[in-house]
Every structure is written in structure tokens, then in C-alpha cells.
A and B are shown apart, each in its own frame.
Chain A
Amino acid sequence: MPARITIKNLTMAYGSLVVMRDLNFEIQDKEIFAIMGGSGCGKSTLLRHLIGLQEPTQGSILYDGRDFTATDPAQRGPFIQRFGVMYQSGALWSSLTLGENISMPLEEIAHIPAKTVRDLVSYKLSLVGLAGYEDYYPAEISGGMQKRAGIARAMALDPDILFLDEPGAGLDPLSSRRLDDLILRLRDSQGSTIVIVTHELSSIFNIADKVIFLDTATHTQGALGNPADLRDHSDNPAVRLFLNRGEHPTPPP
């Protein structure tokens, strides 16, 4: 059985500026997969490639063994329908209220009756701790709240695969904790696969099954594996340093 997502020899670039080259990894079904690396190393860029907003310079991305990158962008509907995406900036539609942000896909894409939509909206908002905020506009709430509303919107259509770009940034420790719980529950009860970009080491160790480390220095995949294993046994010193919060770790035995 093919992996949920397979990345083969992926090279990403902006014009002549190569961001990452030769990425090779797989994300299994129902896995919580973390992408980490220094600021500006290309995590968001990788995410944009995975959801088809940018085309790879080389290599391919497969979903359940079917080639996503070789599919004509206009024919990608069946893939995209299974995605839920939370952008680093939140990217809420600013002319709509939080409620409308979540209800729009429900109404326009899934054609769900109005009463059900209302219930779904308030349920999803409560999941991220924003109960009762239906009628606020994105500009009227704080940055951390916008992020959480972005997560609620990403979950609107109960996606198979959830992509989250730094959902924990700007959240207080309690909200951050709650978010980790939410991610684990989504995986356990809905069977979602979750791809998450994060710097929060505590949440990496709490929830991630597997993590990829993008190495800024070499512009390649620095390490891949279970976070605790990598912290203690990775043969890449940059990875051990990163996972030990910048404190010099003991060399591997």
C-alpha cells in the first residue's frame, strides 16, 4: 500500500535561488508529521508545494501513489478536496466574519443546509476555543485568535489531510497545549493525517510521530525520523543542537 504522501527528489526554487534540493520522504496515513528547520529555510515553501500552490523545479509529489505534480492544475480538484490548510498568516477572508469564513466552504462547496451549517460553525469555533466569536471580523480579533480561526476554517470540511503552518506561534502556553490536544484528537477520532510546520519543541515531542529537519546550511534534508530519537542519536549535529534548544548536546555514543 503506497504512503499517503510520497515526496520524491523534490527540488524547490524561486527563480535561481534554490530553497531545498533533493527532498525524499513519505508521510503515512494517520501520521502527525512535523516539518522543522531554521527560520527562512523553506518550510512554508514546502507546504505550498504540497498543496499545489507552487510547482516544483524538479521531482514529484504523490498522494496515495497518484502523481499530484503531474496532474494538470485544473484537474486537481479530487486531490484538493481532501486538503485543509491553515496558512502562516491565518489568511482569513477579511471581508467576511469568522462565522462566514467557516460557513462559506460548507455552503458553496458542500451545499449543506443552513441549520447544519450554523451548528457546524459554532462547533468548529468552540474546538479552537473561539466559541461565540461568529460575528467578529478578522480585523477585530488578535493575531493568535486569527490563527486559531484559521485552524477552524481548515477543519471546515473534515479534511483527510490537514496542513498547518506554525499554528502554535503566538499562542499562550495553555492555548498551545489545547492545540496539541486538538491535533491528537483529530488524528485519533477522525483519522486525519496532519502535516504541521512548527518550532515549538514541546509540541514536536508531544505529538509528532515523525519529523523532517530542513537544513539551511546545505539546503537539503538534514534528518528524518522520530523526534526523540533524532534528539539523542542523530548523526547530524545541527539537528541535535536544534532539538536540544541550542544547548550543546552530548555527542552520540
Chain B
Amino acid sequence: MPSAVSLPPCAAWQEDGGDVVLALSGDWKRDGPPATVTGISPDRHPSRYQVSELGSYDSTLPAFLFSLLRSATELPETKDKPVPALDGLPENLRGLLTLALAVPEENARLTTPLHSSEIRELGKITVQLWETIRSLLDFTGQTVLSLARFCRGKARFRSADFWLILQQCGAQALPIVSLISFLIGMILAFVGNVQLTNFGANLFVADLVGIAMVREMGVVMTAIIMSGRTGAAFAALIGSMKVNEEIDALQTFGFLPFDFLVLPRLLALLLMMPILTVYANVVGILGGMLVGALVGIPPVLYWTETLTSVDLTNSSLGVIKSVFFGAAIAISGCMQGMKAGNSSAAVGEATTRAVVASITAVIVLDSTFAAIFALLKI
């Protein structure tokens, strides 16, 4: 629609025999220029409005007037605020403004934001850190209690849920675990081969790949994959159940949310992590064997060499660690889900935190194990 030339919006304060008049003119449009205010603004409401030169307007005009009236009403701290006069305004504007100004004052939430300072921030961070540590300990303690209830046959969860979770974090993780382990085995073999050929000892690639896979790489890579895959899924699912009050509903039926949600996930990971780890180790060694074949080590020779270095002690270390990593992943994922806030944004945050927390936990645990094994000279 072709419109006439639009005039800039303007509000002018005028005196008219003791009365304060606000003269409004021009076109008040969202996409137009900002309004100019002229004249000295008095500390009170206008007693009248002058709108003879007012053009077309949208919500910008009532919004402008509303903030003007609001800021003036806030001056006197009295209970009975004067009702501002709206004389002279067009009928439709007056109706809307009356409605907007009639919001009961009690309903407008008055919050005084705390002034933040560096010291306060530091204190807050310290308190938060302490809270995090405490809730982690608390959650781990609850997990142990829940496991104890399970052993006494008192924990209640749906067995159908358990089988489903077992499938999700077992069979369905196989493709990605296979791919990553195979590639890691190959990479180790390539790197080892380049160095060991210098000494004419490239047969020892088999030892290197074997030991590295079963002691470290197999279990750590599996744990990292499971953190990203399963830990995140746990946090997202439990978090969204929290948001929808589904966990409250469990509780009011007398189910213990902890047994119902955390326990089957923990058990599933405790069971599946060792199996996946053994599988990853084998696939990694096969990857190394492929590279070996490419650089001239016959597979049979590669296999016998692997068997001489990978003994039961070495290969059990990874499997033992996998149980702890599994627990760490399940606890991080479920804990972040249970702690999630009450909005859907909180679910996303919980998922991210679950992944970060479980990968960190896995690496920290792994270094602890490395130190312990070194001390024990295993």
C-alpha cells in the first residue's frame, strides 16, 4: 500500500496555563526513526495530550507512553498511586493503556539483583565446586545402596527396560566400536612399523599393537565411545523425564526413581563394557595384523608374536578397568540427567555435561590405574 511521506515521531512537552501537555506528532512505526522528545520533562504525568498532528502508529506509541507513565508512577513510594490522566488520547489507545497500567502491582515480581563483585563470584564458584563434589559423592553412595538392594532382591525396575538398555549399549554399539578399534589398531601398527623398521625389528609391531590395545587403547576408546553414545543418551532421557514430571510420577506410585532408572543402566554398562572391551581388543589386533600383512609380516607369524606378548595379566588389566569405566559413565550420565533443571534447555545442558564429565572421569581413572599398576610393577 503506497503511503504518504512519513513524518518523524515526536513528543513535545508544553506548558498550558499550569497544565502539562504532551503533544504527539508524526508517524510512530516500528521500522521508522526513534522518537525525539523535546521540551523539559516535568516530574509528573501529563494532564492532557495533544494529538492533532499525530499520524499513523503501531505498538511503539503505547509502549513509549507506557514507559513514560510507569517511570513517573514509580517516583512516589505510596500505596495509592495516582491514576494517570489519559485525556486527549484516541479512544483505542486509551483502552489499551488503561489495561496495561491496570496490572496489579503485587503481581509484578520485584526482585533486587545482588550486586556482583569478584569476591562474591569467587565465593560462588567455591560453593558450587563443593556442591558438585558433595552431590557426586552422594550419588555414588546412593548407587552403592541401590546395588545392595538389587543383591538382596529388593530393587524394583522393569525387566523389559533392562533388556532394551542392554541391547542399546551392547549390540547397537558394535558397529562404531568395530570401526574405531580397527582403525586404532591400524594406526598403532603404522606408527610402530615406521620406528621399528629402523632397527630391523618390525616383527615387534605385533607386540606393540597387542600390548597397547589390551592394556590401554581398547578399553579407553570403548569408554570414550560409550560416553558419547550411551552416557549422553542416559542424561537426555532421564533429563527429559525430569522435565515432564515423569520422575515425580514414578515417586508418587512408590517406585524409587533411583532403582527404576539408574540401576538398570548401571547394570547394563557393568555387564557390557567388559564384553565390548574384549571385542575391541580383538578387532584392534586384527587391524594391526592387516597393516602387518601390508608391510610383509605374515598373519600367522603376527598372531604367534602377539600371543607371546599378550598374556593373561596384560589382557585382564583392560577388562578390569572397563568395569570401573562403565560405572563412571553410567553414574555421570544418570547423575546429570537426575540433576537437570526444569526446562528443555536444561536437558541439552545436562547431555553436554554428561559427556564431558564421563570422558574426564574415564581419563582420570585411567591415569590413576596407570599409577597403581606402575607401583605394583604389573
Contacts and interface: CB of A to CB of B under 8 A. Distances in A.
A119 B107 CA distance: 48
B339 interface: no
A202 interface: no
A77 interface: yes
Interface residues of B, number: 19
A109 B249 contact: no
A85 B252 contact: yes
Contacts of B246: 91-94
Nearest to A83: B252
B241 interface: yes
Interface string B233-275: 0000100110011101111111100000000000000000000
A236 interface: no
A241 to B, nearest CB: 11
Interface in A177-236: 216-217
A91 B244 contact: yes
A40 B103 CA distance: 14
Contacts of B252: 51-53, 80, 83, 85
A80 B249 contact: no
A38 B103 CA distance: 13
Contacts of B250: 93
B159 to A, nearest CB: 10
B158 A217 contact: no
Given A108-B156, A108-B158, A216 B249 contact: no
B104 interface: yes
Interface string B151-163: 0000010100000
Given A87-B248, A89-B245, A216-B106, 15 more contacts: A38-B107, A48-B248, A80-B251, A80-B252, A80-B254, A88-B245, A90-B244, A91-B246, A91-B249, A104-B158, A104-B253, A108-B158, A108-B255, A109-B253, A153-B249
Interface of B: 104, 106-107, 156, 158, 237, 240-241, 244-246, 248-255
Interface of A: 38, 40, 48, 51-53, 77, 80-81, 83, 85, 87-95, 104-105, 108-109, 153, 157, 216-217
